[in-house]
Structure 1
Amino acid sequence: MSNALRVLMAQQNFLVGDIPGNTQKVIDGANQARMQQADVVMFPELALTGYPPEDLLLRPSLETRVGQALQRLCDEVRDIYLVVGYPRMRDGKLYNMAGVIHNGQLLGEYAKQCLPNYQVFDEKRYFSEGDQPLVVPINGVPVALTVCEDIWHPGPALQAREAGAQLMLNINASPFHIDKPRHRTELLRERARQAGCPILYVNMVGGQDELVFDGGSKVVDVAGELLFSGDHFQEADYLVEFDSASGRLSCAHPSEPHPTLEQSVYNALVLGVRDYVNKNGFKGVVLGLSGGIDSALTLAVAVDALGAERVEAVMMPFRYTSSMSLEDAEAEANTLGVQYDVISIEPMFDTFMGQLADQFEGTARDTTEENLQARCRGVLLMAISNKKGYLVLTTGNKSEMAVGYSTLYGDMAGGFDVLKDVPKTLVYRLSNYRNSISPVIPQRVIDRPPSAELAPDQTDQDSLPDYDVLDRILELYVECDYSADAIIAEGFDETDVKRVIWLVDINEYKRRQAPVGVRITQRGFGRDRRYPITSGWKAGV
């Protein structure tokens, strides 16, 4: 006798902390799954609270709110098995749970066993580890549950195998970084072979502060073959049928190819901006459009995320601003159809300098005057933000943030830095990628030498190594934890290496005050990298 099981993987976007809203989303999704004649619907990890809830997990009312949500699910979801993630107290300990609900009954709970405590994860701060498998019979099929990190280790899969599982449902809140989809696929293939059963992997999608969850839900058969890979960076439902007699799996949707690096990063930036703006209730965004490549790419991302009608660009020229910058900024703004304004900072700069004349008397001109230009621009953008309810998007890239090539309370003034984790060399690649879809960034912006235009004939390379060199040194030091000596051994100039590392170390105080931004690498400036501001550490060894 054949036991067919139809499972709908609900790749959904949840709002952290909105337990009632997330619960309604689960109820609606379960109703939709039932209309598609699914036997089971599975939602991502911690769907009821959103991920990561951080210290909301420490709130005394958490248990009451989650308990009320689970009761709603028991009361309102019928005629379908519901697999959903949530935090729950058991015997005085908090666990990251996956529960199975059917016709008003909580049939079983699985407590996540492997708690990640690296990179952006700190689950051991909140949760206790489970140690038992859960296998639930559904339509005669023994189905095992696991949660996210459990799939990265062999233990839970082997437990499920010993408990007689014929199918594994793995619920996830796995954030994106470059090449993550490929790593997941390789891992799932290995784990399915160890478990001796197919794995249905559903992943959360959406932006949460600096994290972006990219979806890409997958189905892997018992031999470790990838049968299906879902869309990335968008909500979707995927119906999968499992025949326990033959072990055969069939998917009702065509598989999606893994996106290219540029495509995945660009889409991550778009989703990160869209969700940060919308989930936090901003009417739109405003940014300073300088005629340079960073602000040009940021504007393109913002329009793709929100639509031109919710984006405002402001050119704030000074005496050092070239006619090329003015022309290119206006050309891109017109191409994208955003509101575009030009406000000179010259009068306010002159006023500041007049008021500071006594303080500056007898001193030579230096970066103080350059920083003052940036701070005039920051004041203008923040005033527009306050008046219109717009979020200010800053435009600094990872290379600049690493070495402090930015002005505190100037070009760093704002609420969200789209390119915060994007190295300068990748900024160029993303700009060319966006133009391959439709030409929006003037080619001259991409081709010209980068400059902050804070002084006559200024270019970035006046004070920094070429970006190809700089970005590789930064990758080795920031993302790979190489020492100065180890980087020099890779063939880089000793003077360049030591200067770059010194700049990274002394500018921690700036990064600590920087806006949040989308994480796209395995070591971003934020949750990933927590270094002291005051430190006597020497990075030579």
Structure 2
Amino acid sequence: MTTGFGQIGFPSRGDLLNQAQDKMKGTRMADRFRLTLAQLNATVGDLAGNSARAQTAWEAGRVAGADLVALPEMFITGYNTQDLVMKPAFHQAAIAAIEGLARDCADGPAIAIGGPALEGAGLYNAYYILQGGQVTARVFKHHLPNETVFDEKRIYQSGDVTGPYTVRGLRIGSPICEDAWHDDVAETLAETGAEMLLVPNGSPHYRDKIDTRQNLMVARVIETGLPLVYLNLVGGQDDQIFDGGTFVLNPGGRLVVQLPMFEEAVAHVEFERGGAGWQAVPGVLAHLPDDLEQDYNAMVLALRDYLRKAGFSRVLLGLSGGVDSAIVATIAVDALGPENVRCVMLPSEYTSEESLEDARSVAENLGCRYDTVPIAQGRAAITATLAPLFEGTAPDLTEENIQSRLRGLLLMALSNKFGEMLLTTGNKSEVAVGYATIYGDMAGGYNPIKDLYKTRVFEICRWRNAHHRGWMQGPEGAVIPARVIDKPPSAELRADQKDSDSLPDYPVLDGILHILVDQDGSVSDCVAAGYDAADAAKVEHLLYISEYKRFQSAPGARLSKRAFWLDRRYPIVNRWRDSASEV
């Protein structure tokens, strides 16, 4: 966490302390307002921990002479709570935690913090204003999102649109997250006297979403003529990533403050009132990463937080010598450090010497532990055990999958013995069409690349080889050898096997999947885009019959608007096929 002293270009710590002391004497300077923005990482269900983090931010604001310390949507509970917040014991405890925070932070700046609220028999997504030891105002969310990862209409009641609240003489309107994606709430607040818009968010990440947010918020600023603060959560929660990226817009839509993406920050923003109304003093504009860096940073943050919040500190994975396991190992090292990552090669007679060399090179380049556990003896024992039952049948996919399931068994044994979470390494292309062995290479607790198509995996590997950032705990340089990226993908479960034996080439497969999954398109749409009708029909069939595998698969980082889990909910048993696929 950064306290923001000097970050936005404001007075020195000594000056701020003197100003804070003046305020305590009632000599507040007219026409100025200092807002502390706490872009912090909450943990779902950790009411005491989240409250403590809020109080730490409040202390930073108090030292800085802030008038108001603002935290994001539903910060006290963490976000997205799903059905947990409907449990009476939980939302009552969360409300009590907010009331306790008000009492503990009575002597200093006001606090704005998100949490659940009860009004009559209704449960609301609310934004609380705490001043002088009490809750002085509550704002209820009006527009409840019911798409992608959200089910808020089944959890909360819709609140009425109300007017602004007042802090130290400044009238502030707070459209809560989705409320700011519509024009009515902000316009009502402006019409009822708001002088500033403070928008608390629990806005989950998808690729380039920050551009969408900024464009929408500029519209709110143009419509109302008011400055706007967009304050977002940061951190991973299950498959979702909250990317921060808090920003401030002045009237006219000019961006004047930009906090970083994917990391915590506490910043102090000064507002001044002139003849044209309130405006923020321009500050530092943090670097916004491109889409490849966003993907990679999101996967690193998601894995780190999933482990930390679930109580794990170390991981292991099967390192095959292929590109998928290589990038997962790299993500893990960048998230946790090489000392907390174990790579295991589990060779069979079909494992090439090249794969053995490549796996070892990746592990050595990353600096993590590398173990070799041959599976030949175990496979022979299983084959002998099954021989009486398999007598008279020809070897087929069953025998290939025994290898994968034996590897899963051995990796899970290591996980149990050493307390290391097993990472699975299937990319979105494989997850989509079921090109993976359930209870085999799908075994594991988390999949960092679950929402990354195979063609995108290649791009990410090349990006990581060419770039290094301060938030990466792994080494600089080309940690993934070029041969790992360039060689034809293979599961190596039989002699001379290639992925292209069973699937269209990955550029074709990914193009078809992008239409069928990400665009929710049809086989006809694939044909219109230039793909072969037989390929499209085959991919559609594989997509539907693999639903049962995805239902049992590990969670993974959500990078797009159509990730597998909450974004795309299909029945496991489904006999429907696009009629165009029968042509």
2:25 is matched with which residue?
none
1:476 is matched with which residue?
515
Amino acid in the other structure paired with 1:120: V
| More divergent stretch after superposition (531-540 vs 264-273) | 531-540
Amino acid in the other structure paired with 1:489: A
Out of 278, 284, 296, the position equivalent to 2:326 is: 296
Q: Secondary structure at the match of 1:146?
A: coil
Displacement of 1:166 after TM fit?
1.1
8 Å contact from structure 2 (residues 313, 336) kept in 1: no
Displacement of 1:35 after TM fit?
1.0
Displacement of 1:318 after TM fit?
0.6
Displacement of 1:66 after TM fit?
2.0
Could you report, residue by residue, the CA deviation over 1:302-342 in whole angstroms, capped at 9, with x for unpaired residues?
A: 00000111110000001111111111111111111111100
Matches within 5 A, 1:346-365: 346-365=376-395
Determine the C-alpha separation between the residues in 1 that align with 2:490 and 2:90.
Answer: 50
8 Å contact from structure 1 (residues 238, 251) kept in 2: no
1:58 is matched with which residue?
86
Determine the C-alpha separation between the residues in 2 that align with 1:468 and 1:187.
Answer: 34
8 Å contact from structure 1 (residues 141, 244) kept in 2: no
2:546 is the counterpart of 1:518: no
8 Å contact from structure 2 (residues 163, 173) kept in 1: yes
What residue ranges of structure 2 are gaps of 5+ in the alignment? 1-28, 468-476
1:221 is matched with which residue?
250
Q: Secondary structure at the match of 2:364?
A: helix
1:378 is matched with which residue?
408
1:208 is matched with which residue?
237
Query: Over the residues paired in the alignment, what is the CA RMSD in angstroms?
Result: 1.2
Determine the C-alpha separation between the residues in 1 that align with 2:283 and 2:364.
Answer: 39
2:359 is the counterpart of 1:329: yes
TM-score, length-normalised on structure 1? 0.98
Displacement of 1:137 after TM fit?
2.3
Displacement of 1:105 after TM fit?
2.0
Determine the C-alpha separation between the residues in 2 that align with 1:63 and 1:53.
Answer: 11
8 Å contact from structure 1 (residues 417, 515) kept in 2: yes
Determine the C-alpha separation between the residues in 2 that align with 1:367 and 1:33.
Answer: 62
Amino acid in the other structure paired with 1:533: I
Determine the C-alpha separation between the residues in 2 that align with 1:375 and 1:459.
Answer: 19
8 Å contact from structure 2 (residues 99, 134) kept in 1: no
2:109 is the counterpart of 1:88: no
Could you report, residue by residue, the CA deviation over 1:113-145 in whole angstroms, capped at 9, with x for unpaired residues?
A: 111000011111110111222412223221111
1:181 is matched with which residue?
210
Determine the C-alpha separation between the residues in 1 that align with 2:145 and 2:159.
Answer: 13
Amino acid in the other structure paired with 1:290: S
2:490 is the counterpart of 1:460: no
Out of 267, 278, 298, the position equivalent to 2:308 is: 278
1:35 is matched with which residue?
63
Matches within 5 A, 1:1-400: 2-77=30-105, 78-245=107-274, 246-247=276-277, 249-250=279-280, 253-400=283-430
TM-score, length-normalised on structure 2? 0.91
Determine the C-alpha separation between the residues in 1 that align with 2:279 and 2:296.
Answer: 33
Determine the C-alpha separation between the residues in 1 that align with 2:288 and 2:163.
Answer: 32
8 Å contact from structure 1 (residues 192, 224) kept in 2: yes
Determine the C-alpha separation between the residues in 2 that align with 1:98 and 1:39.
Answer: 17
Determine the C-alpha separation between the residues in 1 that align with 2:99 and 2:151.
Answer: 29
8 Å contact from structure 2 (residues 272, 281) kept in 1: no
Q: How many residues align?
A: 541
Displacement of 1:283 after TM fit?
3.1
1:500 is matched with which residue?
539
What residue ranges of structure 1 are gaps of 5+ in the alignment? none
Amino acid in the other structure paired with 2:153: K
Determine the C-alpha separation between the residues in 1 that align with 2:336 and 2:437.
Answer: 27
| More divergent stretch after superposition (406-415 vs 227-236) | 227-236
| More divergent stretch after superposition (218-227 vs 303-312) | 218-227
Determine the C-alpha separation between the residues in 1 that align with 2:187 and 2:313.
Answer: 50
Q: Secondary structure at the match of 1:244?
A: strand
Displacement of 1:33 after TM fit?
1.2
Displacement of 1:485 after TM fit?
1.5
2:578 is the counterpart of 1:539: yes
Amino acid in the other structure paired with 2:480: I
Amino acid in the other structure paired with 2:562: R
Determine the C-alpha separation between the residues in 1 that align with 2:267 and 2:223.
Answer: 25
2:8 is matched with which residue?
none
Q: Secondary structure at the match of 1:61?
A: helix
